[in-house]
Amino acid sequence: MTTETKLPFEQEDISSYSTKNNDPAWLSELRIQAFSELEKLPMPKPDKTKIDKWNFTSFQTHTVESEAFASLEELPEEIKSIIEENENLYIQRNNTPAHINLSANVKEQGVIFTDILSAARDHAELVQKYFMKDGVKISEHRLTALHAALVNGGAFLYVPKNVEIKEPIQSVFLLDNPDTTLFNHVLIVAEDNSSVTYVENYFSTVESNEGVANIVTEVFANANAKVQYGAVDTLSKGFTTYVNRRGVAGRDARIEWALGLMNDGNTISDNTTYLMGDGSHGDTKTVVVGRGEQKQNFTTAIIHYGKRSEGYILKHGVMKESASSIFNGIGKIEYGATKANAEQESRVLMLSEKARGDANPILLIDEDDVTAGHAASVGRVDPLQLYYLMSRGITKKEAERLVIHGFLAPVVNELPIEGVKKQLVAVIERKVQ
């Protein structure tokens, strides 16, 4: 049984947008196909979280056209502080590509870095090969089909074989118009023996009354490639967010995630890594702070198909006021993935009586010759830690702040750009005050 979805658009609207956008034929057809499947597909069913009254489909404007930035000096000060002097930078302002730059050194090595819609036109064969096929599939549920039909922004990063990029590649998705609707798609392809570090920031400078964010990322690390992926999400309270970050790792490949999930609105997050190749490695570190009355559900999964594959999940969350969050960690070892190792740890710290956190470690093992383990805890600030700090002249408020930062540090310290790391620390500071 499916629930009827009231959509503020028709198939003709999608065709019109695709034509206006000069989409290639394959993308236009994909949009229409996705739209035709919408009503047949169920909504996702996040564990222990009722989303039937959440707004994922009602919005006033599909695309907000904004001015590009003539220079980086025009950026808000908050954005300047996180980009530092990064030469490899893409900035999207609402739904408009507003700045793009790739250093000459990186460009000479054949790296492609551009907005996703330009990439669909200019690198059609390459984008079509990976777009919503083996990572996130259109037919998974209604929100993935909705995403495919309405994608209106995002980034594409391609790293050729044997190319190792030392400096990080960064995307900033800036929302400074309250009518913005996000259907962002980020696609990263690292060919054999390549390596790259990618960092993205979702940054709201205005409140949204009833915003919708439907964000999908697909990361492909082919044989012996390495992708480090960092993100800090800070969408404002008015946004209802669905975010799906998916990785596919080939033989001896590595995908490492460091995610600071700091949205102020209701959020569903799905972060799944498929370890397809023998010797592949997946590592996910996630930090979350919830406040107010927001409700969130975070599912992190690493699925082992390859022999000797290694999967590690670390999730730390802080809940305050009346916020509630579900933290699901899933380590699944498929039949034939001998010598695989699945490890996970989820810990939730609650700062008030009404705050709620639920940590659910799940191991699904279909092979005998493997290693697996998990740990989970939900609790309040340790009074002994507070006592120790206060006995050295620190106030209770400052002691709590230090304990919280220490609790979240394992993820914060993994972010590869110093400015982004400082931003996440500042966001944590603001949210736990």
pLDDT tens over the chain, length 433 residues: 344 456 778 999 999 999 999 999 999 999 999 999 998 999 999 989 999 999 999 898 999 999 999 999 999 998 998 887 789 999 999 999 999 999 999 999 999 999 999 999 999 999 999 999 999 999 999 999 999 999 999 999 999 999 999 999 999 999 999 999 999 999 999 999 999 999 999 999 988 778 999 999 999 999 999 999 999 999 999 999 999 999 999 999 999 999 999 999 999 999 999 999 999 999 999 999 999 999 999 999 999 999 999 999 999 999 999 999 999 999 999 999 999 999 999 999 998 899 999 999 999 999 999 999 999 999 888 888 888 889 999 998 888 888 888 888 888 888 777 878 888 988 998 888 7
Half-sphere exposure of 69 (CA within 13 A, CB side): 22
Distance CA 407, CA 127 (A): 40
Among candidate residues 284, 298, 275, the one with its CA nearest the CA of residue 367: 275
337, 367 in Cβ contact below 8 A?
A: yes
* DSSP code per residue over 88-118: SEEEEETTEEEEEE--HHHHHTT-EEEEHHH
Q: What are phi and psi for residue 51, nearest 5 degrees?
A: -120, 10
Distance CA 416, CA 398 (A): 27
Among candidate residues 411, 428, 427, the one with its CA nearest the CA of residue 78: 427
41, 4 in Cβ contact below 8 A?
A: no
pTM over 0.85: yes
